Structure 1
């Protein structure tokens, strides 16, 4: 398995950053880092997203930095050239996966059905993102892996501090957390505190298992 996918599996939590500006991306990354987060995704519909990725990678050696909302091969190539460690997409695009495969950068496409999940796997994706996960519930990963046990599944969309433990207990590979963790109106101390709370939930489940 790709090293980035293995790292996401170890960390379990991907912070999804979708902002109006990357003006304070350094301080935001610091807050997440101090809160225990080690995997971050900056969506490409955030103005200056690629520059923000570069800044974080330059400052932190052990931050895994990915690009989100990657819609096509052109987006994928630009993100890879900017140093993205992984790519997340809201939909299933063969072109996007092929570009990632060409450069050895894992693409995590968004899927909603077993057919889409299997198609993504056949195209080379080794981790798929169920989005929005709130629409299918916490048991979906287990149900999906019944006939398709080789799939790894990330939950994105609706994951919060109230239900993240349910996703971990239900066997999801990892979770992506957006507005419940990072938002335009949250201050940096608040983001750090939220990050710490999510990490605590993750570690509690690890101890139980």
Structure 2
């Protein structure tokens, strides 16, 4: 899959499920439930113990797998070799960008300032993660696109059913959701995550 195809699939999906499991099995169940609910892009975070097992379990599923909480180039390479089709960081790391460019994998670094965004753009990043998005309003995207009209932003953190369409209407290429899924799993298990994922898909289709 090319970088262009990955970008297109995420833009079409509009929702990326950010999966943080207390262990590999929980992450697998969260991912499968989100996929069953209609979410086609899954970000497996490297805070999950034995995340390699999660990649192995999900690689044959009909979903786009990415890696999250990637803090250094060594982790980025591990993720890419494990099957990640995109790499996400909470911050911008030039060495991670270099590794991703080398393997033709999109890199979505977390950026909050214009300076960080320009540096990421100059390193080949096409989509930038706004994190934590709950510190901003959706209108922030329009403000950024004034001086940087080419910037595509994926807000993550604080996205929920009440504000997801506000962010998409403001110009977000996609959004990342995670804490809602974890809460649903802890209170209602697998089926609760399936139902919540369906609600997100229905919400963005309205």
TM-score above 0.5? yes
CA distance in 2, matches of 1:133, 1:85: 23
Unmatched runs of 5 consecutive residues or more in structure 1? 205-209
CA distance in 2, matches of 1:18, 1:105: 22
For the pair 1:157 / 2:157, whether they are aligned, the reply is yes
Q: Which residue of 2 aligns with 1:188?
A: 190
* TM-score of the superposed pair, with normalisation by structure 1: 0.93
Q: Which residue of 2 aligns with 1:5?
A: 7
Moved over 6 A (4+): none
CA distance in 1, matches of 2:35, 2:49: 22
**Secondary structure of 1:128's partner?**
strand
CA distance in 2, matches of 1:26, 1:42: 9
Residue 24 of structure 1: how far off its partner (Å): 4.0
For the pair 1:170 / 2:170, whether they are aligned, the reply is yes
* TM-score of the superposed pair, with normalisation by structure 2: 0.94
- Residues 24-51 of structure 1 show CA distances to partners (whole Å, capped at 9, x for unaligned) of 4443333112211000011001001122
CA distance in 2, matches of 1:91, 1:29: 24
- Does the 8 A contact of 1:16 with 1:182 survive in 2? no
Q: Which residue of 2 aligns with 1:121?
A: 121
Q: Which residue of 2 aligns with 1:135?
A: 135
Q: Which residue of 2 aligns with 1:100?
A: 100
- Does the 8 A contact of 1:161 with 1:180 survive in 2? no
The alignment yields a C-alpha RMSD, in angstroms, of 1.3
CA distance in 2, matches of 1:26, 1:45: 14
Q: Which residue of 1 aligns with 2:31?
A: 29
**Secondary structure of 1:154's partner?**
strand
For the pair 1:67 / 2:63, whether they are aligned, the reply is no
Unmatched runs of 5 consecutive residues or more in structure 2? none
- Does the 8 A contact of 1:128 with 1:154 survive in 2? yes
- Does the 8 A contact of 2:18 with 2:45 survive in 1? yes
Q: In the comparison of the two structures, how many residue pairs are matched? A: 202
